[in-house]
Amino acid sequence: MKTLVIYDITDDNLRNTVSEICKNFGLSRIQKSAFLGDLVSSARKELRAKLERTLGEAEGNIQIFVLCNACIALREIIGKYTVQPEMGTVIV
């Protein structure tokens, strides 16, 4: 099943950590604070537990949606859509 993770976190370090966790689970960034990908139930549970531990009592929230392929096919995109490229290390 498709898994959509969205989050609203103001702390830069915490937000970056959440982003890295999502990438480590194979999710692709679809917006600045949104990741989408295929996860089996056990991986989704592991992701949830890791995100819950990471957020702890900090301000913000993380939401995880499980979407069927038919639901994904019905999504409507307004504007230009591309999977967000990941920023690599930049040496100046």
Model pLDDT for residues 18-46, shown as the tens digit of each residue: 999 999 999 999 999 999 999 999 999 99
Q: What local confidence, expressed as pLDDT, does residue 81 receive? A: 73
Q: What is the pLDDT of residue 90?
A: 40
Q: How far apart are CA 1 and CA 70, in angstroms?
A: 10
Instruction: Sketch out the chain's domains with CATH numbers.
Output: 2-73 (3.30.70.240)
For 36, the token pair is 């989408």
Check residue 80 and give its pLDDT. 83
Express each pLDDT in 43-77 by its tens digit: 999 999 999 999 999 999 999 999 998 998 999 99
Q: Quick one: pLDDT at residue 91?
A: 45
79: left (phi over 0), alpha (psi -120 to 50) or beta: left
pTM surpassing 0.75? yes
